[in-house]
Amino acid sequence: MSKSVTYETPDYVEPALDAVARSLREAAELTKGLSEDASAVLASAAADVARMVEKQGKQAVRATRSVTRQASKKVRRHPIASIAAALAATATVIGLISARRNHRNAAS
């Protein structure tokens, strides 16, 4: 796993955060005429969601870096076993794809 993956992790979260924030802002706008308290609650909720997503993004980056370091160490310690595992995984994926195609063809 490359280092670029660890730096890109928060970008995956950003579109969801934007959608939630946009929805909460729209809800806050709709409630302005009803109650200032409702608008304040929604604004607070939007801020809470933003903080939570930022925290989760940071935790995901740390976890990804940790897993990457551990995997890298294991590959360096056991290169032949790592190659064998990668080949076995590749063969498994190819077998699953082949089985799925055969299943689709038989169903047609």
Please indicate, yes or no, whether residues 66 and 105 belong to a single structural domain of this protein: no
Identify the band that residue 6 occupies on the pLDDT scale cut at 50, 70 and 90. very low
Same domain, 62 and 97: no
H/E segment holding residue 38: helix 36-77
Task: Check if the beta carbon of residue 28 is closer than 8 Å to that of residue 39.
Answer: yes
Structural domain including 63 reads 3-77
On whether both 105 and 52 belong to a single domain, the answer is: no
Q: For the segment 32-67, what is each residue's pLDDT rounded down to a tens digit?
A: 666 677 767 777 777 787 788 788 878 888 888 888
Instruction: Tell me: do 49 and 92 sit in the same domain.
Output: no
Q: How far apart are CA 13 and CA 50, in angstroms?
A: 10
Total domain count, the chain = 2
**Same domain, yes or no: 27 and 73:** yes
Kindly state whether residues 88 and 103 are assigned to the same domain: yes
Q: Are residues 68 and 96 in the same domain?
A: no
